[in-house]
């Protein structure tokens, strides 16, 4: 920007950007701050490990940490949902945690017959600490209401990942792998009779398969329970025509719930 720009022009430009919908200050190219932090940490460790003049080199045995093993242990030790939420908050290995404002654990009625599992929090969810509260979440609420479900009375909602990925990028396989033991424990503790798998990332995590257009609408199994994969509501906001298929999937879920009594 021209540094000689006057105050009024600068303000007008800022207002124009806000009108255009700019709501976050980001650069033209992404900065991987985690990588920079990691590099600085590695350099500091290397410097600390350098032998001082006259000192013999000391070999320090690095303790081996397996983030997935740690997650399995922490999840298994959680006896109930509040303990699980605390265990996730204390889990140090997922890099997404550093960039997120809040841990997004769950919303709705724990113990409900239906548990919906989305992908990861977006901006609104990160700010409020609750899943599916942005535009996609509002559509999800309407879809649930159409089959007499609501997070206020009879549905429970969570995500595969509890922290927002930077700039809403897709979660990385290693991030999913380390948080999966927590999700599995979450399902076991909430103990739903059926699961709604919302979106492709969730299919990948829970069924080991992608291809939501092919998978949706057919009952599958996830964590030993009937599971219905569905289009993500964010996809439906962009592809109105796909709402027809989602309506049919919702009716399938309603019928299954009626069959359960």
How far apart CA 257 and CA 199 sit, in angstroms, is 21
Compute how many residues bind ligand URA; rule: CB under 6 A.
14
Using rule CB under 6 A, residue 121 touches ligand URA: yes
SS3 231: coil
Q: Give the contact letters, 73-112, x = binds to ligand URA (CB under 6 A), - = no.
A: ----------------------------------------
* C-alpha radius of gyration, the chain, whole number: 22
Q: Which residues from 190-219 bind ligand URA, rule CB under 6 A?
A: 199
Using rule CB under 6 A, residue 122 touches ligand URA: yes
**Pick 108 or 118: Cβ nearer ligand URA:** 118
Q: Maximum distance among all alpha carbons in the chain? A: 78
**Pick 10 or 237: Cβ nearer ligand URA:** 237
Using rule CB under 6 A, residue 119 touches ligand URA: yes
List C-alpha distances in Å: 64 to 73, 87, 116: 15, 21, 35
Using rule CB under 6 A, residue 141 touches ligand URA: no
**What helix, strand, coil percent values describe the chain, rounded to 5?**
50, 10, 40
Residue 236 C-beta: closest distance to ligand URA, Å: 12
Taking Cα atoms as reference points, which of 196, 195, 199 lies closest to residue 237?
199
User: Contact region for ligand URA (CB under 6 A) — 50-58, 78-86, 113-121, 247-255?
Assistant: 113-121
Residue 10 C-beta: closest distance to ligand URA, Å: 34
1: which 2 tokens? Answer: 């920007």
How far apart CA 189 and CA 186 sit, in angstroms, is 5
Q: Which residues form the interface with ligand URA (CB under 6 A)? A: 118-122, 125, 131-132, 134, 136-137, 159, 199, 234
């Amino acid at each position: 920007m021209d540094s000689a720009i006057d105050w009024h022009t600068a303000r007008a430009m800022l207002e124009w950007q806000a009108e255009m919908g700019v709501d976050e200050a980001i650069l033209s190219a992404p900065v991987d701050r985690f990588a920079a932090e990691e590099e600085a940490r590695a350099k500091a460790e290397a410097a600390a490990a350098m032998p001082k003049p006259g000192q013999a080199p000391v070999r320090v045995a690095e303790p081996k940490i397996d983030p997935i093993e740690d997650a399995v242990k922490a999840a298994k030790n959680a006896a109930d949902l509040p303990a699980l939420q605390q265990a996730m908050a204390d889990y140090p290995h997922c890099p997404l945690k550093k960039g997120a404002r809040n841990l997004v654990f769950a919303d709705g009625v724990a113990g409900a017959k239906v548990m919906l599992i989305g992908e990861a929090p977006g901006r609104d969810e990160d700010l409020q600490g609750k899943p599916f509260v942005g535009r996609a979440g509002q559509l999800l609420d309407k879809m649930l209401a159409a089959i007499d479900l609501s997070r206020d009375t009879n549905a429970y909602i969570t995500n595969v990942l509890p922290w927002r990925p930077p700039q809403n990028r897709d979660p990385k396989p290693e991030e999913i792998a380390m948080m999966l033991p927590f999700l599995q424990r979450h399902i076991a503790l909430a103990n739903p009779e059926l699961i709604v798998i919302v979106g492709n990332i969730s299919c990948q995590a829970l069924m080991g398969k992608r291809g939501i257009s092919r998978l949706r609408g057919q009952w599958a199994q996830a964590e030993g329970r009937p599971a219905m994969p569905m289009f993500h509501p964010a996809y439906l906001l962009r592809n109105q025509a796909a709402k027809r298929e989602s309506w049919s999937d919702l009716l399938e879920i309603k019928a299954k719930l009626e069959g359960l009594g």
